[in-house]
Amino acid sequence: MKKTPIYILMMLVALACNKPVTTSQCNVLPLPQSVELSNNEFVLSKATEFVVGAPENDKRILEDYLKVAFGALENEQKSNRVKLVVTENIEGISSPEGYSMTITPKEINVTATSGAGLFYGIQTILQMAGENNTLACGTITDEPAFAYRGMMLDVSRHFFDKEFVKKQIDAIAHFKMNRLHLHLTDAAGWRIEIKKYPRLTNFAAWRKPGLWKEWWFGDRQYVNEGTEGAYGGYYTQDDIREIVKYAQERYITIIPEIEMPAHSEETLTAYPELSCTHEPYKQADFCVGNEKTFEFLENVLSEVIELFPSEYIHIGGDEAGKASWPNCPLCQKRMKDENLKDVNELQSYLIQRIEKFVNSKGRQIIGWDEILDGGLAPNATVMSWRGTEGGLAAVNSGHKAIMTPGAYCYLDSYQDAPHTQPMAFGPYMPLEKVYSYNPIEGIDEEKAKLIYGVQGNLWAEYIPTEEMVEYMVYPRILAIAEIGWSNPAERNFSEFRERTITSVEWLRAKGYNAFDLKNEFGQRKEATMQWNNLAKDKNISYNNGMLYSNSYTAGGDEALIDGVHGGWTYTDKKWQGFICGGMDLTIDLGEEKEITAVHADFMQMCIPDVWMPAEVTVSLSSNNIDFETVAEIKHNVVRDEELSFKNYGWKGDTAKKARYVRYTAKSGKQGGWLFTDEIEIN
Ligand code: ACM
C-alpha cells in the first residue's frame, strides 16, 4: 500500500479546521517565506513537459539539471507541464534569488528574476513532490533572508577529492545554499596547484602516512610526492576549473581560502626563506618584513584569482602566533618604517596590503575575525568565528560580516551524546543548538543589513574519511541552510526536526552518510531535570581564594547547589570551571543533618585542557572548625581522547551528623581546567 503523503494528511487536518495549509506545514527545507496550498494535486510523470525561458547560459544549465533531476524529458505525450521563466521583476520579491510559483493540476509556473531563482524553484518542486511525485496545488512566494549561505570544508587536515566535493555541492544546492568555502591551505597540507611554486604540491601537500592526529602529535614531517604511503593530495588547476564549473551549474560560488599570515607551516617548510628565521619546520607565520613574502602571496593569489571567479577571496588571517616578529630585524624595520606600534598592526599591514592587491584585480577579501586586530582593511568582510563579537564590530564600523560562531556553526563538534559518537573536536552541539542561532539577534535593523549571511564550518582534524565528513555535516548544515533562508519568526524546532528527518531519508537514499537523527540519543539525562538534595539552595562558600573562573561561572555562587546539572558540554553555562588549581568549598546546611553521601560529577575532555581531579576530599563538621575527613580519593589522571564523566565522593554505610560539608578537588593537570556542575548531599 502506498503511504499517504504527509502534506495530504496536513491538508486534511487543515481542512477539518477550515484553514489553508501554510508555510510552516509544507514539507520544504529551508522553509519558504510564504505558502498557500489547497487540496488539488499536480502529478509529475514521464509525460510532464518542462519549458525553460531564461538567458542562454541559464537555460542550458537548467535544462541539463532538469534532465538529471527528473529523468528523461523527451516523451511525446504531454499531460501537464512545468514552466520556468526568468522575468524582469516579481511583485513581493526583492532578492535576485527569489522565485514565485503557482501550482495548478495542469501546470507549475515558476518565475524568477535570475537562473538561481528558477533553480531554487526546482528544488522546492523536488522536495514537495517527494516519493509520490505529487505536489499540492497552491502558491509559493519565496526568497532568502541572507545573500550568503555557506559551508566551509577543510581539505587541508584531511584531503577530499574533487568527486567528493562535487557530491557535497549537489547536496547543499538542494537546500538552497550558495557558497562553498574551501580551506585549501594549512599546516597539514597545501591543496591547490600553483604553477609558479611547484614545491607547494610536490612536497607541502604530502605528509607521513597516517591520520592528522598521529602526524600533528608526532613529528609533523612533510614528504615528497610519490613517497611510499604518503598521505595527502591536491587539486590540479584542471580539477579546480571542473569544481568551479560544476558549482556554477548549481548556482554555488566556490570561495577559495589561502591562509596568511599564519597556519602556514607547510608553505614555510617548502619555502623557508619566507619565514623570519628561514628554518624549515620552525614557523607558522610568514615574515611580514620580507618583500619576498608579498611577491609570493601576490603570485599565488594571481593564479587563484584566475581560477576562481568568486567576488570574494578568503585570506585567512586567524590565529597568528606573531612570536617571531618581535625578534626579526626585517619585521622590526617594517614596523619602524610604517610607524606600526605593535605586532597586531604589523599583521594589519599585511592584510591591508594584500587587500589592495586583491582589490586591484577587481576582487574583495574575506578574513577570519582576527583581521580586526590592529585595524580592519578598508573594504574587508569579516568572518566571525570566535563568537559573534567580531561580526558585530565589523558591522558597527560599516563592514559586511559572515556569521559562523563556533558555538553554533562548527560542525566538527559532537552532534549527539559523546559516548555514542565517533571522536569529535568540539563540544556537544546537536541540531537543536545549531538551529537556535539567529545571526541578527540584538543587532539594530540598519546594521543587520550588513550581516551578509551565515556559514557552517567543517574543520577536518578529526574527520579522516568521506563518510565521516557527511556524518558530521548532515543534517546540521540543513539548520544553517534554514537560518540563511527562512523567516526567523516562522522557525520552530520540532517542526524543523520533522522536515529534517524527511531530508535525512532523502540524503541517505542518495548515498550520503547522514547522521540518523530519528534515533538521536539526546541530552545528558541529568541535565534534563531538577534534582533535589540536602545541599539545594543552602549556603556555599569558596575557601582559600579558590574561586571559579569568570568565563565559566554557571551563574555564580549558587550554581553548584541549585539542583541543575550540566549537559554534555562544559560550555552550556551549567558547568562551573576552575583554572586556579582546584576547588575548595564548604556548604552550610543551616542545621545538623543526617548525611549518607556527598558527591559531585566532573568531566574530562583533554583537547581543550579539561581534566578529572587528581584528588578529592570530603569532610564533615558540626561547627565549621573541626572537620572529619570521610573520603580521600586519589585518581591517576591519564590523557585520553574521549569525553568522560565521573562521580567522586563519599557514601557512608551509616549516616553521619553534620552541618558543614567541605568538598575539595585538586586539578588533574597543572594549569588545566576542572569542571563540576553540582555538589549533592543526601
Ligand atoms: C578558526 O577556527 N581558526 C577560524
Q: Is pLDDT at 435 greater than 80 in this prediction? A: yes
Distance 318 CA to ligand 1 centre (A): 6
Q: Looking at residue 382, what is its pLDDT?
A: 98
Distance 385 CA to ligand 1 centre (A): 6
Q: Looking at residue 76, what is its pLDDT?
A: 64
pLDDT per residue as tens digits for the range 593-608: 999 999 999 999 898 8
Check if the beta carbon of residue 315 is closer than 8 Å to that of residue 358: yes
Q: Is pLDDT at 621 greater than 50 in this prediction? A: yes
318 lines ligand 1 (CB under 6 A): yes
Question: Minimal CA–CA distance to 645: which of 409, 415, 428, 410?
Answer: 428
116: part of which helix (H) or strand (E)?
helix 115-129
Take atom 3 of ligand 1 and give the residue whose Cα is closest.
318
| Cα gap 522→416, rounded to integer Å | 6
406 Cα nearest atom in ligand 1: 2
Q: Looking at residue 13, what is its pLDDT?
A: 44
pLDDT per residue as tens digits for the range 170-192: 999 999 999 999 999 999 999 99
Distance 29 CA to ligand 1 centre (A): 28
Any idea what the Cα angle at residue 144 is, between residues 138 and 147, rounded to 5°?
160
385 lines ligand 1 (CB under 6 A): yes
Report cis status (omega within 30 of 0) of the bond before 439. no
Grid cell locating 76: 511525446
pLDDT per residue as tens digits for the range 249-259: 999 999 999 99
Distance 216 CA to ligand 1 centre (A): 17
Catalytic annotation, residues = 186, 263, 319
Q: Could you give the C-alpha distances from 137 to 33, 91, 642, in angstroms and in order?
A: 17, 20, 51
| Cα gap 155→423, rounded to integer Å | 19
Q: Looking at residue 73, what is its pLDDT?
A: 53
What integer best gives the mean pLDDT of the chain? 94
368 lines ligand 1 (CB under 6 A): yes
pLDDT per residue as tens digits for the range 351-386: 999 999 999 999 999 999 999 999 999 999 999 999
pLDDT per residue as tens digits for the range 564-597: 999 999 999 999 999 989 999 999 999 999 999 9
Q: Is pLDDT at 2 greater than 70 in this prediction? A: no
The percentage of residues in the chain with a pLDDT greater than 70, rounded to a whole number, is: 96
308 lines ligand 1 (CB under 6 A): no
Check if the beta carbon of residue 201 is closer than 8 Å to that of residue 193: yes
Q: Looking at residue 74, what is its pLDDT?
A: 57
Entry pTM:
0.92
Question: Minimal CA–CA distance to 630: which of 601, 604, 585, 661?
Answer: 661
Neighbours of 332 (CB within 10 A): 15
Q: Which residue has the higher pLDDT, 326 or 640?
A: 326
Beta strand 134-142 pairing with 34-43: antiparallel
List residues bridging with 153 in a β-sheet: 182, 458
Place 77 in a pLDDT band, splitting at 50, 70 and 90. Answer: confident
Q: Could you give the C-alpha distances from 431 to 456, 479, 496, in angstroms and in order?
A: 12, 7, 10
- 528: CB partners within 8 A, 6+ apart: none
Check if the beta carbon of residue 569 is closer than 8 Å to that of residue 428: yes
263 Cα nearest atom in ligand 1: 3
Identify which of 186, 257, 315, 318 to mutate to test ligand 1's pocket (most ligand atoms within 8 A of the CB).
318
pLDDT per residue as tens digits for the range 293-349: 999 999 999 999 999 999 999 999 999 999 999 999 999 999 999 999 999 999 999
Neighbours of 130 (CB within 10 A): 17
Q: HSE on the CB side for 496, CA within 13 Å?
A: 26
| Cα gap 7→129, rounded to integer Å | 10
410 Cα nearest atom in ligand 1: 2
Question: Minimal CA–CA distance to 268: which of 228, 225, 298, 297?
Answer: 297
Question: Minimal CA–CA distance to 340: which of 325, 355, 358, 356?
Answer: 325
Strand locations in 266-415, DSSP E? Answer: 312-316, 364-368, 381-384, 401-403
Q: Looking at residue 78, what is its pLDDT?
A: 80
Mean pLDDT of 466-490: 97
Q: Looking at residue 55, what is its pLDDT?
A: 98
Take atom 2 of ligand 1 and give the residue whose Cα is closest.
385
Q: Looking at residue 210, what is its pLDDT?
A: 87
- 443: CB partners within 8 A, 6+ apart: 392, 395, 451
Q: Could you give the C-alpha distances from 398 to 317, 376, 402, in angstroms and in order?
A: 20, 11, 13
What sections of 510-604 are H helices per DSSP? none
- 596: CB partners within 8 A, 6+ apart: 651, 652, 654, 655, 656, 682
Any idea what the Cα angle at residue 637 is, between residues 571 and 463, rounded to 5°?
55
Place 20 in a pLDDT band, splitting at 50, 70 and 90. Answer: very low
Question: Minimal CA–CA distance to 122: which of 77, 170, 75?
Answer: 170
Q: Looking at residue 12, what is its pLDDT?
A: 45
Residue with cell 552541539: 429
410 lines ligand 1 (CB under 6 A): no
Distance 405 CA to ligand 1 centre (A): 10
pLDDT per residue as tens digits for the range 31-53: 999 999 998 999 999 899 999 99
Grid cell locating 661: 560539608
Q: Is 674 left (phi over 0), alpha (psi -120 to 50) or beta?
A: beta
Mean pLDDT of 522-532: 91
Check if the beta carbon of residue 368 is closer than 8 Å to that of residue 262: no
